[in-house]
Chain A
Amino acid sequence: MTRNPRDLPRHTVEQRFVHWMNALSVILLALSGLALFHPYFWPLVHLFGGGTWTRILHPFIGLFMVVFFAALFVMFWSDNLIDAADREWLRHIDEMADGNDQNMPEEGKYNGGQKLLFWAFTLCIALLLVSGICMWRAYFNLPDTLVRVAATVHAAVAALMIALVIGHVYTGIWVRGTFRAMWYGSVTRPWAWQHHRAWYRRVARR
């Protein structure tokens, strides 16, 4: 299908691929992790072939995600450095959530919320990796106190991370015209003008 040739390219195919590998991993990790976290979610083990398979697979999916998140980090970190406009954006985040973007500053490729989320994901994944390794009994047998702290940290950070992922998906749905930026990589010019005007000015001139 031919789309409007004036649409602005936003994400390369490499960026989209890496993003969706992360998305796939985080969904599988959330489902298998929740199953092992609370009896309410135990039936989710059947998606993975039973309890033992869930226990075996979860850490390997975690490592898989770490590899793809590292790639995502390399591709995206420089676009996510927080500047003065982002801080101004974050000060008005409640107005944005209220549906009024009149007072939002002109934003670059990503807004303050997106950038904050990027760094929050980075921190969460680092903590989940370290604490997860500590809990991996099949290969590691570390001191009890360390494993206990790691288990608590892993659960708390994972819950936060899943909440952030839900928020991330929801904001993509809520701001209409956004999903396509990650599906097939382009956005419309009015979308860019409205939500990322500084970025629009930079790329639309070319």
Chain B
Amino acid sequence: MANDSLDIIRRSATTTQPPDERRHLEVAKLIDVSTCIGCKACQSACMEWNDLREEVDSTLGSYDNPRDLTAASWNVIRYAEVPTGNGGLEWLMRKDNCMHCADPGCLKACPAPGAIVQYSNGIVDFQQENCIGCGYCISGCPFNIPRFGPTDHKVYKCTLCSDRVAVGLEPACVKACPTGALQFGTKDQMKDYAEQRIADLKERGYQKAGLYDPPGVGGTHAMYVLQHADQPSLYSGLPDDPSISAWVSLWKGPAKPIAAALLGLVALGSLFHYILKGPADVTRESEEAVEDEERP
């Protein structure tokens, strides 16, 4: 949804500069997986605020429910059972949702002007009324987040409750979290808060605890505090070092001007060839040769 109180700093398939005068603070959601109890209050709050109703599915034999993100489930908690070296088990829960990258692969891949925008507070938002349903954003995303609507063929994902944030509220999931595992504020505030949490975790023996704010996508506006920040993939396949795929960068980067230049050169080259050389006409000699051939 377009939000007048938020400026758009980046807009898909747009080659001119967006409005740049007003300054907003960058916001961020901090997800402290070490204090998450897997209650799914965040999932319920998201459904309620965004008027989403997932279809009831069958159980997978785990707590994952729904089993994956869908067009109607914009966040899910993923439960990973990770064996520790000494015969024990760690139950690692991660709330999975859009990371709101500073350098969003979805926006880069999108061919429809204004279907994906980035607000100056860092939120990346899909504007379904401009979406054409090609699904390029799905290929662009390094986190496997956007989901195709099965009937409308529009793509959906977490908005970080841009409508709530625009009027000074925290996202619905943060509001609902009973343990404080979800925090929301400016990105700097969240980094400061994360530092306290990481110091606490280190004190309790998690020497590799750290903040997940991956530089490969310019940092994110949803960040994790991880007990094992050296192995993000332990958390149900969180990418260790995410970045926009080189194929997408080529396709949406140099390929565009190179292809446009090639076509322009061929068209202009043809025109100038005609101007320089003129048509390849049938010569007088050919006409005479045919006349000679056919003389009885």
The finding on whether chains A and B are genuine partners in a shared complex, rather than unrelated, reads yes
- State the total of A-B contacts with C-beta under 8 angstroms: 134
B204-254 interface with A by 8 A CB criterion = 245, 247-248, 250-251
Provided the pairs A39-B13, A137-B133 are in contact, do residues A170 and B282 lie with their beta carbons within 8 angstroms? no
CB 8 Å contact bits of A151-178 with B (1 = contact, 0 = none) = 1100110011011001100100111110
Interface of A is mostly: helix
Q: Quick one: closest B residue to A166, CB to CB? A: B266
Counting contact residues on chain B (CB < 8 A from A), the size range is 35 or more
Chain A residues whose CB sits within 8 angstroms of the CB of B167 once the complex forms: none
> Which among B130, B274, B280 has the greatest number of chain A C-beta atoms within 10 A?
B280
- Within 8 Å of chain B (Cβ to Cβ): is A191? yes
Do A204 and B255 touch (CB < 8 A)? Answer: no
CB 8 Å contact bits of A4-43 with B (1 = contact, 0 = none) = 0010000000000000000000000000000111111010
Q: Which residues of A contact B (CB under 8 A)?
A: 6, 35-40, 42, 50-52, 54-56, 97-99, 101, 135, 137-138, 141, 144-145, 147-149, 151-152, 155-156, 159-160, 162-163, 166-167, 170, 173-177, 188-191, 193-194, 204
5 nearest CB pairs, A to B: A137-B135, A159-B259, A51-B132, A170-B270, A148-B247
Q: Which residues of B contact A (CB under 8 A)?
A: 13-15, 111-113, 130-136, 138-139, 144, 148, 153, 245, 247-248, 250-251, 255-256, 258-260, 262-263, 266-267, 270, 273-274, 277-283, 286-287, 289-290, 293-294
The answer for the CA separation of A38 and B264 in the assembled complex, in Å, is 14
Chain A residues whose CB sits within 8 angstroms of the CB of B279 once the complex forms: 173-176
Do B267 and A166 touch (CB < 8 A)? Answer: yes
Listed by A's residue number, 13 A-B pairs whose Cβ atoms lie within 8 Å are A35-B111, A36-B111, A37-B256, A39-B13, A42-B113, A51-B130, A98-B277, A138-B153, A176-B280, A177-B282, A190-B286, A193-B286, A193-B289
Do A175 and B280 touch (CB < 8 A)? Answer: yes
